[in-house]
Amino acid sequence: MDLRSELVAPAVPTARLEEISREIERISELARRGERAGAEDAVKAFNDKTGHRYALLDFVDYGGWRSLEDFAREAARPAWPKVPDITRDELVELVRRILTADPEADYYTRLLEVNVPHPRVIDMIFHPPAELLNASAEDIVDAALRYRAIVV
């Protein structure tokens, strides 16, 4: 299934990736040198500029689980890509792409998290409860859409 433009991971210009990469490395270096106050101020400015909610630890430990380029690409893209009229079929396609390790799976994961009510939808894919072991993308989406928060 082709995704409409609102759901396709936006391209990030090389110059923007380089700018954000430099800032990530600068913040990481501030933290490594023990300049905590300066690093925390830089993280706040970074978050204000990108719309994300990164913590200092994200800059210190990013290399352990993703590349600088992946981190910069994520930061350059919308932090909370809400698509109000997303359909069930589109959500199913996102889950399929995540399950097949699509090169843009990280972006599709963010889209899924933002556009379904279940707070742990990604766990339903990678760490499913017994009833969702070996479930189809359709079953995962249906379970995520059935979720209703308990209001106290």
Look at residue 16 in the predicted model and tell me its pLDDT. 97
In this predicted model, what pLDDT tens digit does every residue of 36-60 receive, in sequence order?
A: 999 999 999 999 999 999 999 999 9
**pLDDT above 90: residue 66:** no
**pLDDT above 90: residue 75:** yes
**pLDDT above 90: residue 62:** no
In this predicted model, what pLDDT tens digit does every residue of 4-31 receive, in sequence order?
A: 999 999 999 999 999 999 999 999 999 9
The domain limits of the chain are 14-76, 88-146
Q: How far apart are CA 131 and CA 112, in angstroms?
A: 20
Closest CA to 83 of 2, 9, 1: 9
Look at residue 64 in the predicted model and tell me its pLDDT. 80
Average pLDDT of the chain, as a whole number:
95
pTM of the shown model: 0.85
**pLDDT above 90: residue 152:** no
Q: How far apart are CA 11 and CA 99, in angstroms?
A: 22
Look at residue 151 in the predicted model and tell me its pLDDT. 82
Look at residue 63 in the predicted model and tell me its pLDDT. 80
Query: Using H for helix, E for strand and C for coil, what is the string for the chain?
Result: CCCCHHHCCCCCCHHHHHHHHHHHHHHHHHHHCCCHHHHHHHHHHHHHHHCCCCCHHHHHHHHHCCCHHHHHHHHHCCCCCCCCCCCHHHHHHHHHHHHCCCCCHHHHHHHHHHHCCCCCHHHHHHCCCHHHCCCCHHHHHHHHHHCCCCCC
